[in-house]
Structure 1
């Protein structure tokens, strides 16, 4: 048999990849599941933090960062919407997103003291489609603005608590009977 014949026979398809080419064959790509990512993240974050920020690395910090990312990946939506986790619109394929359910009401008459929510509407322009988080009558277009205002509210509520303690302590010091109870 000539070399040309042997070469021709060697090049004929067999239905099997050549052993040297077996690893280079295209394979179907399968994305990891959320559970697989959640399992892999702690060690990946630990290794990355050690390499990228050795002066700031602690095992606790790496675990905290990983736990935050895992919680974000595995968080269940507050509502049935696949686009915004806090949207409560249950209609499949809806375009307008909202949640107006965060509120504090008075115990006696149910009047709204403070309310908050979110909305993201369909529209022609990017500005019309930009989501907002609102607090009472003020709209916010980014998380930092919301955080700044809620920090002010926390400080205000601390001041209200302190005022209530002082007012009712002063009232009690005068020997007055507190509303609804004995002195």
Structure 2
């Protein structure tokens, strides 16, 4: 189950026609249902379905057309679809990443800082595929400590790896020629 105080885990609040859809996910993820519905309506519906299938085989995402603007995830083996409040943090985090990476209005630069947090290791290939698809629309900078995710992204193809190393309290990029930083003089 997700954290009860997180906006994403709360039941939907009544919405009007103008806020049932959003081309860009809010920073707190409170409009995840609207972002997913927007992808389904005007974005890459097929990529959305594939992202769900790759991560959760046999599952299906349902975006509700009611005034609560919710969504449900039908999963193989369960008797009924689950609402956002019933999903695990890892499943919700994956769906948030899906909504951000498949946005109908993608940014030119997207930074993902340790997106593997709360995700089951089996989701790394599905996440890597999504990151690879998003990099076709703009630049993606991903920071990760997860070897399975790094390996999966490497397998997707066109990525540049920069390894950071700490030496005597200083963090530097190994294998990259970076000019030495000098503090400006006053």
Task: Check whether TM > 0.5.
Answer: no
TM-score (norm 1): 0.24
TM-score (norm 2): 0.24
- If asked which structure has higher relative contact order (CA below 8 Å, sep 6+), I would say 2
Q: Which structure has the greater CA radius of gyration?
A: 1
